[in-house]
Amino acid sequence: MVAGYWDIHEYKFVVRIKVAKYLYFLADIKGKMNYDSIFSIVDHENQHSNLQRPYILKYSKELNTAKKAAAEASAIIREYASDESFSIELKGKNDLVTDADISAENKIIEILNEAFPEDLILAEESQARKILPEGRVWIIDPIDGTTNFAHQFPRYCVSIALWDQKTPRVGLVLEVASQELFTAVDGEGAWMNGKEIHVSQNTDPSSSLIGTGFPYNNLELVDNYLVLFKRMMEKTHGVRRPGTAAWDLCNVACGRFEGFYEYGLSPWDVAAGALIIQEAGGVICDWEGEDDWLFGERIIAGNKVIKDFLKDEIQACFQKVQLKK
Ligand code: IPD
């Protein structure tokens, strides 16, 4: 009936506006949302117009703010990259930082602070923390893959996550050189450049592509790590090491990799990518198969079967005491 009068898309649009007004009415009554957050919901929906669900209700202001911060940070990083005008310092052995990291991190924090002045920050270059506080915490890596950036190897990411009550709520990873944008919201799904993504359904290790990383400075587990690496070469289609854990995790989320493992990681390397995997239907654990992967430095990710395969392989190569930080 309706389609006889209106184009079906116009009809959907009108329904969406009516739903938005109704939500605004409800939110206004409850005093939980403001006018801005309703329209950032519309904004978010417009950017994910391939979705059939009417609105992304949760954390839309947070996601849009993270997108703005990532876009501005990315512009700063690209400016430094365009004439290679950055300077490099060492924080420790093989642990690089550039002035592009610092400028990008400052810009991200400025934008997040302005939008959410009450929220806490955990950031690689200026506000590293050893534990995750209660409440809302933004976990930021301005350039994940600083070594790649310093050598102008084109895989380095801005990574921004919001954790609330020790649970990931919003995740964003922007690969700066290609502008590939991965996002996720707790309970809402995961997207690559606005298109919904899912982990690979391939559960056969022998036809799987596996991602990993090599530690830069903590080499205490390397002998066993190389044994594991050999087993992976024998048992899978191949192993890749792009050099940015945040993007590695996104490659699991969109199904390019069936699984990923690494040790020596920091919370800002994994905080956003982990939610993107979970929302894409994948699973994450530490090397003991438990949940201590944010600060535990050891991570396994993948679809459920490949995650279990990787866990078994890792546990076969390391002593029990080596599985924990
Ligand atoms: C690094 C990257 C790399 C991983 C290192 C991390 P950073 O992060 O994620 O892939 O192998 O362990 O430290 O230091 O470039 O932000």
Query: Helix 35-47 and helix 8-30: axis angle, to 10°?
Result: 150
Tokens coding 290: 């438990």
Residues 189 and 220 in one domain: no
Lowest mean pLDDT among 86-100, 131-145, 226-240, 259-273: 86-100
Residues 210 and 189 in one domain: no
The residue among 123, 76, 122 whose CA lies nearest residue 99 is 76
Per-residue pLDDT, 16: 55
Q: Domain tally for the chain?
A: 3
Residues 217 and 309 in one domain: yes
Reported as a single tens digit per residue, the pLDDT across 42-79 is 344 444 444 455 555 689 999 999 999 999 999 999 99
Residues 246 and 181 in one domain: no
If one compares 170 and 53, the residue with the highest pLDDT of the two is: 170
> Does any domain span residue 52?
no
Residues 106 and 144 in one domain: yes
141: annotated active-site residue = yes
Cα–Cα distances in angstroms (integers) from residue 153 to residues 34, 35, 81, 146, 176, in the given order: 43, 43, 11, 10, 11
Per-residue pLDDT, 18: 55
Domain boundary among 196, 228, 247: 196
> Does any domain span residue 73?
yes
> Does any domain span residue 133?
yes
Residues 81 and 155 in one domain: yes
Q: What is the CATH number of the domain that holds 134?
A: 3.30.540.10
Query: Helix 60-82 and helix 35-47: axis angle, to 10°?
Result: 60
Give the range of the structural domain holding residue 223, as residue numbers without chain letter: 205-323
Residues 180 and 101 in one domain: yes
Residue 155 and residue 242 in contact, taking contact as beta carbons nearer than 8 Å: yes
If one compares 284 and 26, the residue with the highest pLDDT of the two is: 284
Distance CA 155, CA 142 (A): 13
Per-residue pLDDT, 218: 83
Per-residue pLDDT, 33: 38
In this structure, the residues whose C-beta lies within 6 A of any atom of ligand 1 are 124, 141, 144-147, 213, 215-216, 243-245, 264-265, 269
Lowest mean pLDDT among 37-41, 211-215, 240-244: 37-41
For residue 35, what are the contacts with CB-CB under 8 A and spacing of at least 6? 24
> Does any domain span residue 55?
no
Tokens coding 296: 């535990």
Amino acid type, 194: G
Long-range contacts of 18-25 (CB under 8 A, 24+ apart): 19/54, 19/55, 20/55, 23/55, 23/57
Other Cβ atoms closer than 10 A to 201: 10
143: annotated active-site residue = yes
With a cut of 80, say whether residue 107 has pLDDT above it. yes
Per-residue pLDDT, 34: 34
Atom of ligand 1 lying closest to residue 213 CA: 11
What do you get for the CA distance between the two ends of the chain, in Å? 64
What would the mean pLDDT of 281-299 be, rounded to a whole number?
A: 97
> Does any domain span residue 6?
yes
Residue 293 and residue 270 in contact, taking contact as beta carbons nearer than 8 Å: yes
With a cut of 80, say whether residue 22 has pLDDT above it. no
Per-residue pLDDT, 32: 37
Residues 192 and 210 in one domain: no
Residue 165 and residue 141 in contact, taking contact as beta carbons nearer than 8 Å: no
Residues 79 and 6 in one domain: no
Other Cβ atoms closer than 10 A to 221: 19
Domain boundary among 177, 196, 215: 196
Q: What is the CATH number of the domain that holds 299?
A: 3.40.190.80
> Does any domain span residue 266?
yes
Select which of 45, 269, 297, 313 is catalytic. 269
Residues 245 and 180 in one domain: no
Per-residue pLDDT, 36: 35
Select which of 65, 146, 212, 236 is catalytic. 146
Per-residue pLDDT, 247: 98
Question: Hey, which of 144, 160, 222 would you mutate to test ligand 1's pocket, going by the most ligand atoms within 8 Å of its Cβ?
Answer: 144
Residues 29 and 154 in one domain: no
If one compares 93 and 248, the residue with the highest pLDDT of the two is: 248
> Does any domain span residue 144?
yes
* Average pLDDT score, the chain: 87
For residue 56, what are the contacts with CB-CB under 8 A and spacing of at least 6? 41, 44, 45, 48, 63, 185, 188
What would the mean pLDDT of 176-183 be, rounded to a whole number?
A: 98
> Does any domain span residue 53?
no
Residues 77 and 191 in one domain: yes
